[in-house]
């Protein structure tokens, strides 16, 4: 079945450094790739997403890149701050069809050390 | 506008007991989802619905049933709870023509 792998599972960075989280997906038909941030005890919240017809998208300190050929996509956070500490989930889906399933990665726990 | 709400927030069950989790959304979203979240496994789709009166199975549907009698509500039922169903359950919803899913606050379920 469809699968999304995510690495690393845990990541510690110093405040101000960059953080990179990488995901790979198995279903080459996937066309929508959201990233969610989940703070401890809270609900997942969308932070950025990318469609398969775009190679890169940026929103302030957050960027996502997509390599369709390699079936890889990555989240980049620059100038990290302590409030960036959370669990981050990538996901892949085949949006716009009757096959409406989003497959999530297992998550990356990011710690930003002040 | 409350968004997506879930009832209850926390529940303890004994093995074999039944219960229903309620998800409600006031955004007029067509699509609704039930996920379970377990440590190290991300979010896994249990069941979903693309409209009132319709439901479909996700990745891990066994042991659960759902109903979508009203557009704004999506119910998740456990007929005979098992310890393996101890988890945090999240409901989500979205508009048909938009990709973004909005999550509820979660229900923490402990089955003893």
Q: What is the pLDDT along chain B (112 residues), one digit of tens a residue?
A: 779 999 999 999 999 999 999 999 999 999 999 999 998 778 999 999 999 999 999 989 999 999 999 999 999 999 999 999 999 999 999 998 888 899 999 999 999 9
Residue A10 confidence class, pLDDT cut points 50, 70, 90 = very high
- Give me the pLDDT at residue A53, please: 87
Strands B4-7, B102-103: pairing is: unpaired
Residue of A nearest to B49 (CA): A100
Strand locations in A1-114, DSSP E? 4-7, 10-14, 19-25, 32-38, 45-51, 56-59, 62-67, 72-77, 86-93, 102-104, 108-113
**Interchain CB distance below 8 Å, B103 and A43:** yes
Whether the CB of A53 is below 8 Å from some CB of chain B: the reply is: no
Q: Classify A84 as helix, strand or coil.
A: helix
List the one residue out of A26, A32, A22 whose CA is nearest residue A2.
A26
DSSP state of B40: T
- Give me the pLDDT at residue B99, please: 83
The residues on B that touch A, with CB distances below 8 Å, are 31, 33, 40-45, 48, 50, 56, 58-59, 90, 99-101, 103-106
Residue A86 confidence class, pLDDT cut points 50, 70, 90 = very high
Inform me whether the pLDDT recorded for A99 exceeds 90.
no
**Residue from B44, B97, B99 to probe the interface with A (highest A Cβ count within 10 Å):** B99
Contacts of B103 in chain A (CB under 8 A): 43-45
């Amino acid at each position: 079945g469809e699968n999304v792998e995510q690495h690393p599972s845990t990541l510690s960075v110093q405040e101000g450094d960059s953080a990179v989280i990488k995901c790979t997906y198995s279903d080459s038909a996937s066309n929508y790739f959201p990233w969610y941030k989940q703070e401890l005890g809270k609900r997942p919240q969308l932070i950025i997403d990318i469609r398969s017809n775009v190679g890169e998208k940026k929103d302030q300190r957050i960027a996502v890149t997509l390599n369709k050929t390699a079936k890889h996509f990555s989240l980049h956070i620059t100038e990290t701050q302590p409030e960036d500490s959370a669990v981050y989930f990538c996901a892949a889906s085949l949006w716009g069809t009757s096959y409406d399933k989003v497959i999530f990665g297992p998550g990356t726990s990011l710690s930003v050390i002040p | 506008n409350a968004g997506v709400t879930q009832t209850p927030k926390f529940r303890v069950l004994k093995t074999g007991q039944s219960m229903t989790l309620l998800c409600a959304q006031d955004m007029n979203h067509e699509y609704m989802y039930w996920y379970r979240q377990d440590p190290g496994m991300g979010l896994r789709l249990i069941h979903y619905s693309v409209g009132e009166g319709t439901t479909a199975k996700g990745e891990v549907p066994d042991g659960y049933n759902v109903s979508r009698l009203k557009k704004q509500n999506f119910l998740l039922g456990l007929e005979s709870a098992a310890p393996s169903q101890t988890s945090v359950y999240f409901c989500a919803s979205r508009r048909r023509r938009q990709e973004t899913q909005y999550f509820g606050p979660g229900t923490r379920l402990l089955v003893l």
